[in-house]
Amino acid sequence: MKIMLSAGETSGDLHGAALARELRALDPAVSLIGFGGAEMAAAGVVLRQNYTDYNVMGISAVLLNLRRIFALLDDLTRLMEEERPDVLVIIDYPDFNWRLAARAKERGIPVFSYIPPSAWAWRKGRAKSCARVADEIVAIFPHELPPYEAAGANISFVGNPLIDTVRAEMGEEEARRHFGVADGEIPVLLMPGSRREEIERLLAPMLGAAEILAARDSARRFFLPVAGGVDTAQIQRHLAASSVEVTLTYDARYALMGIARAAIAASGTVIMEAAIMGLPAVVLYRMSVLSYLVGRLLVDVPRFSLPNILLGETFETELLQDEVQPERIAEAMENIIADGAARDYVTERLARAVAVLGEPNAARRVAEKILALARTSET
């Protein structure tokens, strides 16, 4: 049996790796090929291409890289033709992956979609086109199902894989020693995202907020967990222009979240990871002017942070576009760093949001569905 997987960014690489491990555990003879990153490769996927060579964000960045992106699409199509996988598993990364899925469908290869486009939030018509292409769809949040069900898609929610993967790599005392956090020091995390565009737009205001917070309390120490595939030189350039001391870390990021007091973070999967670790955050989202203007026309959602979306309540502070300013970030951070009712309210709501994610072993249940579809193709 041969399964092809396609994931085009850091979170997708992590999800793909979890699926790969479960697929191999369920069927040790399975062959895994495709497009992903270091995590998927370590989990046994033979990569044709690495996503870090194509990791762009925003309309303008995509337009500048269109030729390379379509060349990648053609290359992965050739891989499908050469290897004839029993199923193509696309993981998030919708604008690219659904083009690849359409090509698989044309060639008679079944398509399994894991983490489909957010049709509940914008471009709701996509649900119909996705339903026509995908043989099966699995969502990782229950609120994603209704538009796909209305479109006739074969879709389900079997839990969120983060429940299984997000856990501290070591105990609290060991983590404090590992990261050099002394008694009385207050760890605060800066998490600007993994894409170059996110780092460029968010890290400077994060550092500005950190300078304000450090000036108010010298016990506050700032850490920046560096995701795999991130250009550390880009981060270092921003740090060199700032007066605040920031420690870069490269391992045990969940243990670091576990001992941190609060975080300033880009909107995305990392916010949900922080929620599982009980870490409150101020959530930032900033894009190019062109992407923002287009987004305002297409997106119809009152909030963008996943924990807030899950509860239908903006209990974690969200700052969008021009609101992403050091002073505003710092003021919002004070509310969740200090003991008191404001912090307690946020942490209690985070626990409620995490409960919505379902039971453990979601990746195993998804892998079982993938293998069942692949076996149907074999026959």
Give the DSSP H/E element, type plus range, for residue 338.
none
Distance from C-alpha of 137 to C-alpha of 188, rounded to nearest angstrom? 38
- Angstrom distances, CA of residue 369 to CA of 7, 34, 49, 105: 18, 19, 25, 18
Q: Is 213 exposed, middle or buried (0-12, 13-18, 19+ CB in 10 A)?
A: buried
Q: Smallest Cα–Cα separation from 312: which of 345, 280, 353?
A: 353
Tell which CATH classification among 3.40.50.2000, 3.20.20.70, 3.30.420.40, 4.10.910.10 matches the domain 2-159+359-376: 3.40.50.2000
* Residues facing residue 186 across a β-bridge: 220
Q: 200-211 burial string, b = 16+ CB within 10 Å, else e?
A: bbbbbbbbbbbb
Please check whether the two domains, 2-159+359-376 and 172-357, share a CATH topology.
yes
CB atoms within 10 A of CB 76: 24
Cβ-contact 241, 276 below 8 angstroms? no
Can you give the pTM of this predicted structure? 0.78
Q: In the block, which residue shows the tokens 């020693």?
A: 177
Cβ-contact 238, 204 below 8 angstroms? yes
* Ramachandran quadrant class, 171 (left: phi over 0; alpha: psi -120 to 50; beta: rest): beta
Domain boundaries, the chain: 2-159+359-376, 172-357
For the chain, residues with pLDDT lower than 70 are 54-65, 120-124, 288-301, 379
Give the model confidence (pLDDT) of 334-365 as tens digits. 999 999 999 999 999 999 999 999 999 999 99
pLDDT at 60: 44
CATH 3.40.50.2000 matches 172-357? yes
